[in-house]
Amino acid sequence: MNSYKVTTLNDFIILKQKDFPFAKGELSSLLHHIGTAAKMVNKKISKAGLVDIIGLSGDVNIQGESQQKLDVYADEVFIGALLSSGECCGIATEENQNEIVFSDPLAENGKYVVCIDPLDGSSNIDYNVSVGTIFSIYRRITPRGEKVKNEDFLQEGSKQVAAGYIIYGSSTMLVYSTGFGVNGFTLDPSIGEFCLSHPDIKSPEDGHIYSVNEGNYLQLPQGVKSYLKYCQEEDEVSGRPYTSRYIGSLVSDFHRNLLKGGVFLYPGNVNMPEGKLRLVYECNPIAFIAMQAGGAASDGVRNILDIQPLSLHQRSPFYAGSKNMVSKIESFLVSDQPES
């Protein structure tokens, strides 16, 4: 008889906690609450087309983007879950100008802060395109028991304790790392559990997929234009021309490339010199996953995780995915630089 061995997210979290002799279960509790929030958001998204939650809430977020009702809902659900964990003392979220400071005495004693994009790519929801949640966990810098401060959220990406994303797609997956590899869990709606489906994810060092919004081509740096032409040239040895795949939802584009091999590009351009993606709650967590899976993530010059953030919502050019593809892009960008 086949025994269907299920390892749920919570089984896995507890199992892995045993690898940390001094762990007291704080991070485990935080991850558990993120999993619960993900299930709640997933339930809402899966019905988005059926109830009047779809469409604009009429509000505008700090990015000046009209807020989809699901953006607001997801933001509230994750904030509520992180507060109730008692392990998180504050949150930086795409939907709020400033960090959210928890004044609850239990939370104030929390060891961790969370940076989150509660629903990335939400403009795609009305068209049934997959969207995602992206999160990043740091130890606070300020003393426990005090109110969290802005500096707690402006740490280099290399200081992340854990990071991950949820992709609400054809199936809903949670992918995360605590710095010891990357594991993926698929939600089984029949039991309401995230089950280990992609253990120890490794990013292929090379790939044949590039993901970029080619509508920006004319505004792109010359080095990126040269790289795109390189991708499109015939070369049997390196398997070119590569395939262009772009969904317009960071988590979906990145996740496909992580599993199959490929590279995601959101360069700076003439209109947006720092690109579009946010360093703190989009680039850093995705970069953490990329590197933990053996891939790479760069702003075109340096490792994304080495950048010292200066503000919560700052943007960065972003290249992430298969290691050899990221370094190839960097070589095109370097050769494009005027002789110093």
Q: Judge whether 128 and 110 are in contact, CB under 8 Å.
A: no
d(CA 306, CA 284): 10
Among the listed ranges 16-24, 193-201, 242-250, 306-314, the one in contact with ligand P6P (CB under 6 A) is: 242-250
**Beta strands per DSSP E along 56-111:** 56-60, 66-68, 88-93, 100-101
- Residue 276 engages ligand P6P in binding (rule: CB under 6 A): yes
30 vs 212 by CB, closer to ligand P6P = 212
Only one residue has tokens 């989150």, namely: 116
Which residue type does 50 have? L
| In the complex, minimum distance from the CB of residue 276 to ligand P6P, in angstroms, rounded to a whole number | 5
- Residue 208 engages ligand P6P in binding (rule: CB under 6 A): no
- Residue 292 engages ligand P6P in binding (rule: CB under 6 A): no
Residue 159's alpha-carbon distances to 86, 95, 162, in angstroms, are 21, 23, 9
Q: What would the x/- binding string for ligand P6P be over residues 123 to 152, using CB under 6 A?
A: x-----------------------------
Among 49, 55, 192, 248, binds ligand P6P (CB under 6 A): 248
- Residue 120 engages ligand P6P in binding (rule: CB under 6 A): yes
Closest CA to 82 of 14, 19, 141, 133: 133
- Residue 249 engages ligand P6P in binding (rule: CB under 6 A): yes
Q: Judge whether 184 and 174 are in contact, CB under 8 Å.
A: yes
243 phi and psi angles, rounded to 5 deg: -100, 135
| In the complex, minimum distance from the CB of residue 323 to ligand P6P, in angstroms, rounded to a whole number | 20
Q: How many residues belong to the chain?
A: 340
Among the listed ranges 56-64, 145-153, 247-255, 326-334, the one in contact with ligand P6P (CB under 6 A) is: 247-255
Only one residue has tokens 């390189």, namely: 230
- Residue 17 engages ligand P6P in binding (rule: CB under 6 A): no
248 vs 273 by CB, closer to ligand P6P = 248
- Residue 263 engages ligand P6P in binding (rule: CB under 6 A): no
| In the complex, minimum distance from the CB of residue 253 to ligand P6P, in angstroms, rounded to a whole number | 6
Residue 173's alpha-carbon distances to 29, 38, 41, 152, in angstroms, are 19, 9, 12, 28
- Residue 169 engages ligand P6P in binding (rule: CB under 6 A): no
Q: What angle do helix axes 222-232 and 323-336 make, rounded to 10 degrees?
A: 130
Q: Residues 6 or more apart from 199 whose CB is under 8 A from it?
A: 183, 184
| In the complex, minimum distance from the CB of residue 246 to ligand P6P, in angstroms, rounded to a whole number | 7
- Residue 219 engages ligand P6P in binding (rule: CB under 6 A): no
Q: Which residues pair with 297 in a beta bridge?
A: 320
Among 86, 121, 204, 268, binds ligand P6P (CB under 6 A): 121
Which residue type does 217 have? Y
| In the complex, minimum distance from the CB of residue 250 to ligand P6P, in angstroms, rounded to a whole number | 3
In the complex, the residues that contact ligand P6P under the rule CB under 6 A are: 120-121, 123, 213, 248-250, 276
